[in-house]
């Protein structure tokens, strides 16, 4: 979250002056909160979008889109649109070649955990897209720059909901429906291949390694929804929260037909995770797991933490390459 006071008074003053100048020269939408005392004007040039911060009138055909969360960025790119700016952490893109190649020529507006208001203002957007976790605190400042839509967000399992809402906001519902149809078609093909390869449904787990701990990701997560979509059973109950912390004594909870291991650390922390993995491999309790003995341990990329439809396809590639031993 951004504390505007930390930007510094001189810079903040320039931002305020810039906002005033911008508002005097550009009129591309309206932000308002929902209440009996406020009525949002609607005209033929914009559509009214309801979101967690109220109502916002968004241009019918926005040309200067800025995204300040990874999910919205991925969705905009998947719709075939090119935003003029985005806020995202550099390490988020580390293993995401399918995103990096599409970002050539697009301006960075800081980190999605701390977007740069100054850079966003300079880009002169006609719409800003964000999520609750990253954007709620700075919404009043963003809304003065351009029409801003902030979506509720609790877990990465909501990626499909965010996709549809982004589509409604940008007038890209047909594109979103086509993307989901393609995804479902691919799911059907994958499931047919799995059924011909494995007589019974596989039980799998996804284990995230941290420098000094590890956890199983549950169904209420991005990766959990994809595993459910392809018909793979989770090794932990559906009632479990986002993740279940593991110790060496509870490693058996992760056992199944296959275990997918990943981490999202960088720098020194990544080296610690690698050391943790080597230690784990040498542990007798780990070696007793059926998945280990059957050589069904797969180290997968950090993008398994989640985003949206493009990442979902990347995960399906990984599942095909491991469980079906294909090279898509």
The whole-angstrom separation of Cα 251 and Cα 287 is 10
* Rounded distance between C-alpha atoms, residue 34 and residue 200, angstroms: 51
Fold classification of 196-323 (topology level): Rossmann fold (3.40.50)
In 3D space, the residue among 92, 52, 91, 101 whose CA is nearest the CA of residue 70 turns out to be 92
Q: pTM of whole model > 0.85? A: no
Check residue 247 and give its pLDDT: 87
How does pLDDT run along the chain (328 residues), one tens digit per residue? 333 333 343 444 444 344 434 443 443 444 543 333 322 445 678 999 999 999 999 999 999 999 999 999 999 999 999 999 999 988 888 788 889 889 999 999 999 888 999 999 999 999 999 998 766 788 999 999 999 999 999 999 999 999 999 999 999 999 999 999 999 999 999 999 999 999 898 999 999 998 888 899 877 889 999 999 999 988 876 555 567 888 888 889 999 999 999 998 877 788 888 888 888 899 999 999 999 999 999 999 999 999 999 999 999 999 999 999 865 5
What pLDDT was estimated at residue 1?
39
First to last CA, the chain: 39
pLDDT of residue 312: 97
Query: Where do the structural domains in the chain lie, given as residue ranges?
Result: 4-171, 196-323
Do 4-171 and 196-323 show the same overall fold?
yes
Residue bearing tokens 């995103």: 99
SS (H, E, C) the chain: CCCHHHHCHHHHHHHHHHHHHHHHHCCCCEEECCECCECCCCCCCEEEEEECCEEEEEECCCCCEEECCHHHHHHHHHCCCCCCEECCCHHHHCCCHHHHHHHCCCEECEECCEECHHHHHHHCCCEEEEEHHHHHHHHHHHHHHCCEEEECCCCHHHHHHHHHHHHHHHCCHHHHHHHHHHHHHHHHHHHHHHHHHCCCCCEEEEEEECCCCEEEECCCCHHHHHHHHCCCEECCCCCCCCEEEECHHHHHHHCCCEEEEECCCCCHHHHHHHHHHHHHHHCHHHHCCHHHHCCCEEECCHHHHCCCHHHHHHHHHHHHHHHCCCCC
Q: Regarding the domain delimited by 4-171, which CATH topology (the fold level of the hierarchy) does it fall under? A: Rossmann fold (3.40.50)
């Amino acid at each position: 979250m951004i504390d505007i006071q930390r930007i510094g008074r001189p810079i903040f003053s320039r931002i305020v002056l810039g906002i005033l100048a911008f508002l005097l020269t550009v009129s591309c939408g309206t932000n308002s909160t929902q209440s009996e005392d406020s009525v949002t004007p609607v005209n033929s040039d914009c559509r009214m979008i309801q979101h967690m911060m109220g109502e916002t009138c968004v241009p019918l055909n926005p040309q200067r889109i800025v995204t300040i969360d990874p999910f919205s960025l991925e969705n905009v790119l998947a719709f075939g649109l090119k935003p003029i700016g985005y806020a995202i952490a550099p390490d988020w893109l580390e293993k995401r070649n399918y995103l990096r190649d599409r970002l050539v020529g697009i301006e960075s507006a800081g980190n999605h955990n701390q977007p740069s208001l100054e850079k966003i203002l300079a880009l002169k957007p006609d719409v800003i897209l964000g999520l609750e976790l990253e954007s709620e605190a700075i919404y009043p400042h963003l809304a003065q720059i351009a029409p801003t839509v902030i979506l509720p967000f609790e877990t990465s399992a909501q990626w499909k909901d965010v996709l549809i809402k982004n589509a409604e906001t940008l007038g890209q519902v047909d594109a979103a429906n086509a993307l989901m149809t393609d995804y479902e078609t691919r799911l059907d093909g994958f499931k047919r291949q799995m059924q011909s390869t494995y007589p019974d449904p596989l039980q799998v787990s996804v284990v995230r390694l941290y420098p000094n701990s590890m956890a199983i990701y549950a169904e209420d997560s991005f990766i959990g929804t994809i595993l459910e979509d392809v018909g793979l059973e989770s090794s932990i109950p559906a009632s479990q929260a986002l993740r279940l912390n593991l110790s060496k004594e509870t490693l058996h909870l992760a056992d199944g037909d296959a275990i997918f291991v990943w981490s999202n650390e960088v720098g020194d922390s990544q080296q610690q995770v690698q050391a943790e993995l080597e230690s784990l491999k040498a542990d007798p309790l780990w070696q007793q797991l059926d998945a280990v003995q059957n050589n069904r341990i797969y180290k997968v990329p950090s993008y398994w933490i989640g985003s949206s439809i493009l990442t979902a396809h990347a995960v399906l590639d990984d599942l095909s390459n491991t469980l079906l031993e294909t090279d898509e």
